[in-house]
Amino acid sequence: MPTDRSSSAWRVRTPADLGRAIAGARRERGLSQGELAAELGFERSYLSELESGEATIALERTLRALRRLGAEITVTLPGGYGNRQ
């Protein structure tokens, strides 16, 4: 769920958080998984894995390092960006 009402923002602390951010941003842009995957040159199944929070070892370690340092990542989709629908 977005963490801010004026723009869409997701706090990312885990791979599942990142997956929710990707899925939320995709939906706000009015794109299906298939459409976004095609634009990115991904298989739809890979995008589905990302959105479900499946982690790579590198991502897991990166997020763990950031948490240990007290840092956080926020994915922000500005309100004025517009919807593709």
What is the CATH code for 8-78? Answer: 1.10.260.40
Q: What percent of the chain has pLDDT over 90?
A: 69
What pLDDT sits at residue 3? 47
If pLDDT is split at 50, 70 and 90, which confidence band does 20 have?
Answer: very high
Domain borders along the chain are 8-78
Decide: 12 and 71 in contact? Cβ < 8 Å.
no
Q: What is the largest CA-CA distance in the chain?
A: 40
In three-state secondary structure terms, 12 is strand
If pLDDT is split at 50, 70 and 90, which confidence band does 56 have?
Answer: confident
